[in-house]
Amino acid sequence: MRNWRLIVGVISLVIGLALIPDGFGYFAFYFVIGVAFLFWHFKRKPKAATVSKSVTKNAPTAQEPKPSPANTPPREINGMVQRYSYTQVNVVGMQYLQDKAGVDAAKQGNRVDLCHEKDNEYDETAVAVVDGSGRKLGYLAKGSKIKDMAYDWIARKDPIYAALTVAQPDNLQLSITFYGKPKCRPSGEERYRQLETSAKKKTFSLTGTGSEEMQDTLSLCSRFDSLDIDYDVSIDKTVVSFDGGPIGFLSKAIEQFYDEHDDTEAFLSEVNEGEDGKYSAKVTLFYDIEA
């Protein structure tokens, strides 16, 4: 019986109260016994109820697919070298394909081609992604800088290397490498003077030269230094650099001018240090250079 201590304690107290007329000693005896048993009962720790725990293993959650190592892009294609590389480029528009055989057969690591789809009624510069059998897998996203780059490369017939890094029924991703001419640095002032007499030119100031990195690079520059001009898709700006170090950006107007002309070479025409110790720079761009 689980509560016998409680019962004994209560009975002892009742007997003690009943014996009060017979003498205080009887009462005290039973009173002490009753209190002791009650104290014993209420101080006793109840046994913890056993709870049956039902352990349910969590179902594995869907994780982001890990890109599979794609075919390694070659260092050089037809004399062109790697200029830009991008990963995790999404293929879009798969849900609108009438024939999904290519998507169903897609495998991680497979080479794919990027093609200008001239008859696309929604985007005259659409770039389609097709597999080795010519089956369409989708498109590069309309309005994306990478799509615009691919369109320009295709128009110039410069090499592009693309491969699937993720291949799932509802998720295709690419790695894309763009190739261009090797950067051959002309011989400074001599090359500048040569182009002055044989090519058109435009001189302009650089923007955004105030960063510490750019100021450090400008401090090492001299007039007639040969410069590189490259579009950086991650910041949506065209960067001018010297010996690998950025020195500034093209303004939007100059960027448009640069995009409209081929066969260009750029040189530092001025580098000035202001009263505040900051460097500014002007660039001369020679364009439409005849071979």
Give tens-digit pLDDT for 48-90: 444 434 334 444 444 444 444 446 889 889 888 888 888 889 9
User: What does the pLDDT look like over 171-187, one tens digit per residue?
Assistant: 999 999 999 877 655 56
Distance CA 286, CA 205 (A): 15
Strand partners, 7: none
User: Which fold does the domain 188-287 belong to in CATH?
Assistant: Alpha-Beta Plaits (3.30.70)
239 pLDDT more than 90: yes
pLDDT of residue 59: 44
Give the pLDDT band (50/70/90) at residue 9.
low
Paired tokens of 214: 């750019």
3-state secondary structure of 245: strand
Give the other-Cβ count within 10 Å of 288's Cβ.
Answer: 11
Residues contacting residue 230 through CB under 8 Å, at least 6 positions apart: 83, 84, 238, 239, 241
- In the sheet with 200-205, reading across from the earlier edge strand, the strands are 200-205, 279-287, 265-273, 226-232, 237-242, 245-249
What percent of the chain clears pLDDT 70, i.e. is strictly above it? 74
Would you say the pTM of this structure is higher than 0.75?
no
State how far the Cα of 241 lies from the Cα of 227, in Å rounded to an integer: 6
Q: CATH topology of 76-180 equal to that of 188-287?
A: yes
Least confident range of 5-19, 85-99, 193-207, 232-246: 5-19
Neighbours of 232 (CB within 10 A): 13
- pLDDT band for 273, please (50, 70, 90 cuts): confident
DSSP label at residue 56: -
What one-letter code names the amino acid at 250? L
Mean pLDDT value across the chain? 82
pLDDT of residue 52: 39
Asked: is 76-180 a CATH 3.40.50.150 domain? The reply is no
Query: What does the pLDDT look like over 73-132, one tens digit per residue?
Result: 898 898 888 888 888 899 999 998 999 999 999 999 999 999 999 999 999 999 999 999
Residue 129 burial (10 A CB sphere; 0-12, 13-18, 19+): buried
Buried b (16+ CB within 10 A) or exposed e, 33-43: bbeebbeebee
Helix 24-43 with 4-18: angle, nearest 10 deg: 160
Which pairs count as long-range contacts for 78-81, CB under 8 Å and 24+ apart, including other chains? 78/159, 78/179, 79/181, 79/182, 80/158, 80/159, 80/179, 80/180, 80/181, 80/182, 81/179, 81/180, 81/181, 81/182
Radius of gyration of the chain (CA): 40
Q: Are 196 and 101 in contact (CB under 8 A)?
A: no
- Report domain extents, the chain: 4-43, 76-180, 188-287
* Strands 171-180 and 80-92, sheet pairing: antiparallel
Q: How far is CA 125 from the centre of its chain?
A: 25
Using an 8 Å Cβ cutoff, are 77 and 157 in contact?
Answer: no
Structure tokens given for 187: 């011989």
